[in-house]
Structure 1
Amino acid sequence: MPPTFVLVHGAFANSFSFAPLQAELGLLGHRSVAVDLPGHGFQATFTRAYQSPQDPEGLATAPGSIKGVTLADNATHLIGILERAKRNGPVILVAHSRGGVTVTAAANARPDLIDRIVYVSAWCPVDLDVNDYYTEPEMATVDPAAFAPALAGNPAELGLLRVNFRTANPDALAALKGAFFADGTDEQFLTFLNTFQPDENLDAGGSADRAQAATWGRVPRTYIRLTDDTSLPLALQDRLIREGDELAPDNPYDIRTLAGSHLKWLADPAPAARILAELATLPSPSTPA
């Protein structure tokens, strides 16, 4: 029975990001489901202050629906989708960026629902919590302060992280493009920004949410490295792979590599779709080789 690809987005993103990839997968004969995590997609908050002309003061103070959403909420929501998808056969769970934290938490809890995990330049914390990796040498080239001109409001007061992706500030736009889509045209970059939502939850997980050998470690997994990613650098991707292999040495990562930035694979999805289609042909653990 052919698998279902379940696609999990990263921070500030939503299921809309996967539309080009889903089209490519469909044309290759594969079914897929793009997930909106809680507070994302049509559950997101787009305040009038975010519209044009913008109201900076209102944008900095308006409440957002994602306030209070936790990693546990994300994992519970995803597990519900996996339960439904699993009724139709094998499930290949694909994570991008921060979505990897949710996927890892779901695999810790319900490895029986997943036939393969595919991380695409995605977080899979093993030795440290996600926030702690930012102080490590592999992340030395990432400067979070570069995005300060695009930040809106105080996260501690809002209870969420808010970014003004509709800013016209040239420094903010340059920083965002350099971090996420340096190899895209300005038009592609601005188009992608307009699929983002301004709010993200503050819960990136803790030590209890790191990959666990007894559960997550049993699930076959692939890591697709993005060689030109500057927001989750290749050195950090390779460290996450190495730590995962050390945690579950009998079930190492299948490693694939694509050229491009953090978002290029979504805007030009054919190469990634071909890799995913190939993974769909691999035998599941219950299928004789």
Structure 2
Amino acid sequence: MNSRIKGKTIVITGASGGIGEQMAIKVAENGGDLALIARRVHLLEALKEKLIKEFNSKVEVYPLNVTDYDQIPHVFHTILQDFGSIHALINNAGYGIFQEAHETSFQDVKGMMDVNVLGLMACTGEALPYMRKQGSGHIINIASQAGKFATPKSSAYSASKHAVLGYTNSVRMEAKRYGVKVTAVNPGPIATNFFSIADESGTYVKNVQKFMLDPAYVAEKVVNALFTNKREINLPRWMNMGSRIYQLFPSFVEKVGNNLFFKK
């Protein structure tokens, strides 16, 4: 059991499935208390029942769409009333749609920005003042390798994750003065239902299936980093190396990899 996590209150958005659900399980395994946020309350309730039964954890659920910005202050106020403190916030809620820029509707662009960026900022804006006041805390933002290395058919999604990384890097420097840690997580494709929306055709999943990350593996890496000074978590390592090469030699990578990038 991880002594850093035991007895701490961890808030997770997008906790009803995928890596959000797996992170909740890992936190419970290590004795942490959980405030679970998502839209699908029936899945949250089922997860709560499982965690209480298996780990005897303190778990509360909070139905919320993170684009309901007016409701976010109320939810975080309720969490503080229920738990007395917030030690960590994992901003995991997000989704993507893989289409060429001219095919992506403005409604879909706005939807990704609203959830991936503004919802994350709004939740952080509620948790951070409390953490600053208590002189400790940890904010973990789930970004993406797409935020470091944009490819065709993901223009809006990549833009949203670029924004998350820019915001995270700035907040990290601001929060450090108050004892609050901030970490960005940049995974490649993960084997979750994310792609039921992002890749309706199934083409991308078919092309990259053998490279997909196990959500339990990603969750373990994130939870193990709680309350450490980890700046970034980049998964898998070889994909992050591609991002680094792209930053150094963008024209070369775009020229050589152009056909490969269109396999979404």
Structure number with the higher helix fraction is: 2
- Shared fold per TM-score greater than 0.5: no
Shorter chain as normaliser: what TM range?
A: 0.3 to 0.5
Q: TM-score, normalised by structure 1?
A: 0.39
Q: TM-score, normalised by structure 2?
A: 0.41
Which gives a bigger RCO, structure 1 or 2 (Cα 8 Å, sep 6+)?
A: 1
